[in-house]
Amino acid sequence: MNQNPEELQFLSSHRSFDGWQKRYRHFSPSLNCEMNFSIYLPPATDQGEKVPAVYWLSGLTCTDENFTIKAGAQRGAAEYGIALIMPDTSPRGEKVARAIDHAYDLGLGAGFYVNATQEPWSRHYRMYDYIVDELPALMEKHFPLDDRRSISGHSMGGHGALMIALRNPQRYRSVSAFSPIVNPTTSPWGIKAFSHYLGDDVKNWWNYDASLLIESARPREYLPMLIDQGSADEFLAEQLKIERFIAACNTANYPVQINMREGYDHSYFFISTFIGEHLRFHARALKNP
C-alpha cells in the first residue's frame, strides 16, 4: 500500500466532450486506507484555465464509477466549464470493517458521510472529514481547480450533500440532491447506520440530519438549494421522507426549490434525465463573483 498522501496513482483516462474523464487512487490519512476517485476535467483546463468544481456524492452500494458511467453529466460539465469530482462512498480494503452479514446498507459502500465514533468503524469510517477537508485540498493541489465548489448527490449521497453544505455553507456556492435521505435519524437506513457508527445516543446523530440542521441555519448563510424527487420512488415513504424536509424549510423560511417529478423512480434513469438542470443550477452559482 502506498501511504504517501501527496501521491496520486493514475488508473485510467478517457476523452469525453473534448475534456477528460480520469480515475486515480491515493492513500487517505482521514480514512487510513487507499481510496479511488474519478474526476472530469472540462476542455477549458487543457488551456491551463482553473475551473470550479461540483462534488458528487453517490448512494448506497455505489462506487465512484456509477455516476461517472451512468449519469451522462460530462456533456453539461463541458458546456459550463465545470469539473466533476466523484469520490467513493466508503473506505474499502481488507482491513476495513464490513457488516458481518454483508448487508448493503452498512459498511462497504455505505459510509453515510459521517465520522464514526464507535469501534470497529472509527478506525476508517471518517467520510465527513474526507469529503469536507482532505479531498478538496488534494483536488485543488493536483488539478487546475480554483476554490469555487458546489456539492450534489443521490440518496445516501443526497443526505451527505445537504448535511455537509448546511454544516459548511462557507465552503460551497450551492447544493443539490436527487432523492435524498433528508431525515436519517428517523429513516431505517439512517437508524441502522448511525447506531453502528455513532452509538446509541441519538443526540450524537443530530449533526448529520439535514432536516434538523436546516432549523438552525442562519439567513446570511443560506445557499441556493435544489432537490429533485421522483413520485414513483419505491423508498419515498419509508426511507426518504421529503415531506419532513419541506416542513423544516417552511419553519425556517429557508429558500429551496423542490421538484416532485411525476412517475420517476430512484434509478439513474431519473438522475440522467435531470442532471443537466442541476449542472446549470450550479453553474449559475459558481460563476457568480
Q: Which of 30, 150, 155, 211 is catalytic?
A: 155
Give the angle 89-284-145 at the CA atoms, nearest 5°: 55
Amino acid at 129: D
Closest CA to 152 of 108, 86, 213: 86
Q: Is 266 a catalytic residue?
A: yes
CA distance 205 to 196: 11
Q: Given the residues 159, 233, 278, 282, select the one marked as catalytic.
A: 233
C-alpha cell of residue 162 = 445537504
CB-count exposure of residue 170 (10 Å: 0-12, 13-18, 19+): exposed
Sheet containing 175-178: order of strands:
9-16, 19-28, 33-41, 83-87, 51-57, 145-154, 175-178, 225-230, 257-261
Q: Residue 273 CA to chain centroid, in angstroms?
A: 19
Round to whole Å and give the CA distance between 38 and 21. Answer: 7
CB atoms within 10 A of CB 288: 10
State yes or no: is 155 an active-site residue: yes
Q: Which of 124, 154, 159, 266 is catalytic?
A: 266
In the residue annotation, 196 being an active-site residue is answered as no
Single-letter amino acid code for the residue at 216: S
Active-site residue list: 155, 233, 266
